[in-house]
Amino acid sequence: MNESIPQLQSYDDAALEQAFSALAAEVRDGAAKLSSAEAQEQFRLDWLGRKQGRLKLVSDAWLKTAPPEARKPLGIRFNQLKQQIEEALSGGNGSTSATATSGALDLTLPGTRRSIGVEHPLVRTTNQIVSVFKAMGYSLAVGPEVETDYYNFESLNFPPNHPARDTQDTLVLASQESKPLRERLLMRTHTSPVQIRTMEQQAPPLRIVIPGKVYRNEAEDATHLARFQQVEGLCVDTNITFSDLKGTLDHAMKALFGSSVKTRFFPSFFPFTEPSADMQISCIFCGGKGCRKCKHSGWIELLGCGMVDPTVFGFVAEKQPAYDPKKISGFAFGMGVERIAMMQYGVSSVGNFYSADMRFLEQFA
């Protein structure tokens, strides 16, 4: 297509008319053959290519060498030819056959509907949990994922020799040895530090729910990951009792899993609560009759909870005197989002949630 452009022997109107008419005829012939997107792109490159396009060659051969008095009529015809080429590409060149077969954009057709994304199953489960507690008057609280040893351990009543402080259990940032222990940085192992930070900033009464990502140095398997999602909660006021804790969690579990779900509590231990408990719910798969998923016990352990240890209030009282353990009390709880999502959606391996496998995620669309 990009054969050489002949030199003009004359610049009078007759010679210019003849030269540009020949080029216009080539444009019409080419436009009539635009039967595919590939042909249309080749046509564009042949005529409008920046280096070897026909218009570039015409400009170099005719416009740049024309005498001053001929440049105006040459420029007018050159622009007309360029307009004809652009109309051919847009399907507006007046040729019925070219318009019908060139695949040009038809503005009267309905647009392509873009698919709307949906929440990731873990995001959806987190939002469901948070919404349940928001309906009970809890506020949302968040905090940093990189924490100090003080907020992650010391202020939560973990003694200096507690196993959780060891790097075998906690992901500690490098080059922290020169700092005092309480100032060393680590990836938070729970969202509980947000409880301390919030109490330091707000006086009681306080009701917060805390979703977030946490990190632990664990071997990954079907039910464990080194990073996972948690939702914790904290309620502090005067005369808060264990009965308030049981009633709150029982209501939350019924809101999440249905009104037929039952709850029960067993003694446990957490450094930051006393007394502490593990809460179980009746198996949502068999209704408490016993099945493989509940190990034929009829119950599924779901979360840890307890009354806030007065020692924790003592740390907070250094900055917020309103948290006098002799005058106020409170309870806290925490649950893993992945565990609840696995129950809700019947997923056997927690790694599926982080695999980015669209075949798996599209099931929840």
User: Which amino acid type is present at position 244?
Assistant: D
The verdict on residue 132 lying in a domain is yes
The per-residue pLDDT for range 113-123, each reduced to its tens digit, is 777 778 899 99
pLDDT confidence bin for 4, thresholds 50/70/90: low
Number of domains making up the chain: 2
Cα torsion angle, 127, 170, 355, 144, sign: positive
Does residue 251 surpass a pLDDT of 50? yes
Does residue 344 surpass a pLDDT of 70? yes
Distance CA(23)–CA(3), nearest Å, equals 12
Residues 20 and 66 in one domain: yes
Parallel/antiparallel/unpaired status of strands 185-187 and 263-270: unpaired
Domain extent, residue 82, equals 13-101
Mean pLDDT of 150-179: 88
Where among 38, 68, 101 does a domain terminate?
101
User: Which amino acid type is present at position 249?
Assistant: L
Note the Cα 20 to chain centre separation in Å. Answer: 57
Residues 256 and 162 in one domain: yes
pLDDT confidence bin for 93, thresholds 50/70/90: very low
Residues 153 and 240 in one domain: yes
Other CB atoms within a 10 A radius of the CB of residue 267 amount to 9
Does residue 97 surpass a pLDDT of 60? no
Other CB atoms within a 10 A radius of the CB of residue 125 amount to 25
The verdict on residue 6 lying in a domain is no
In which element (H, E) is residue 82 found? helix 71-90
Residues 44 and 78 in one domain: yes
Q: Do 199 and 206 contact (CB within 8 A), yes or no?
A: yes
pTM metric for this prediction: 0.67
Does residue 168 surpass a pLDDT of 80? no
What dihedral angle (degrees, nearest 10) is formed by the CA atoms of 251, 256, 259, 262? -70
Q: Which range is most confident: 2-11, 130-139, 219-228? A: 130-139
Residues 32 and 150 in one domain: no
CATH code, 126:
3.30.930.10
Does residue 131 surpass a pLDDT of 90? yes
pLDDT confidence bin for 95, thresholds 50/70/90: very low
Higher-scoring residue by pLDDT: 50, 361: 361
Nearest to 54 by CA among 74, 82, 29: 82
Average pLDDT, the chain: 87
Q: Could you please report the per-residue DSSP string of 119-159?
A: --HHHHHHHHHHHHHHTTTPEE----SEEEHHHHTGGGT--
